[in-house]
């Protein structure tokens, strides 16, 4: 996949690693076959290939994440099943972590969303 990061953007270590990973992706979509969210929802943007495009677009263009983009990235279960079927060895784990980190920095979640996330984190640390 062709990338368009600027030299300034590539001074950031996360961008540097993500750029190398984006370049490995050949858009084949084989990863979609083992993605549970793609299997259930059938939307390209709810599969790994679509999420890779969304993350790349946000990072390269310094875009503020939209509600739509956040919805598709949030739906990723981070199960990494997609990585088992990628013939190019794309490290999706790094990309989704980078995308989620970028969203947390640049997106203002609603109070309801924040509360739900707080309770999930609180209860998952209790058990």
Residues that bind ligand SF4 (CB under 6 A): 25-31, 35-37, 48-49, 51, 76-82, 86, 88, 90, 92
Provide the minimum distance between the beta carbon of 7 and ligand SF4 in the complex, in angstroms, as a whole number. Answer: 25
CB neighbours (10 Å) of residue 87?
A: 9
Q: Cα(70)–Cα(36) distance, rounded to whole angstroms?
A: 18
Closer residue to ligand SF4 (CB): 26 or 115: 26
Sequence-distant (≥ 6) Cβ neighbours of residue 51 within 8 angstroms: 45, 72, 73, 76, 95, 96, 99
Provide the minimum distance between the beta carbon of 19 and ligand SF4 in the complex, in angstroms, as a whole number. Answer: 14
Provide the minimum distance between the beta carbon of 113 and ligand SF4 in the complex, in angstroms, as a whole number. Answer: 19
CA distances from 117 to 29, 84, 111 (A): 31, 29, 10
Provide the minimum distance between the beta carbon of 79 and ligand SF4 in the complex, in angstroms, as a whole number. Answer: 4
Closer residue to ligand SF4 (CB): 9 or 36: 36
């Amino acid at each position: 996949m062709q990338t368009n990061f600027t030299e300034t953007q590539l001074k950031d270590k996360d961008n540097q690693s993500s750029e190398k990973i984006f370049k490995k992706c050949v858009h084949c979509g084989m990863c979609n076959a083992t993605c549970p969210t793609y299997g259930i929802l059938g939307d390209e943007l709810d599969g790994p290939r679509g999420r890779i495009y969304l993350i790349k677009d946000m990072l390269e263009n310094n875009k503020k994440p939209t509600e739509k983009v956040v919805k598709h990235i949030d739906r990723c279960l981070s199960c990494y099943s997609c990585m088992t079927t990628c013939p190019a060895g794309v490290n999706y784990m790094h990309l989704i972590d980078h995308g989620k980190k970028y969203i947390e920095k640049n997106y203002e979640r609603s109070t309801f969303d924040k509360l739900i996330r707080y309770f999930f984190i609180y209860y998952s640390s209790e058990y």
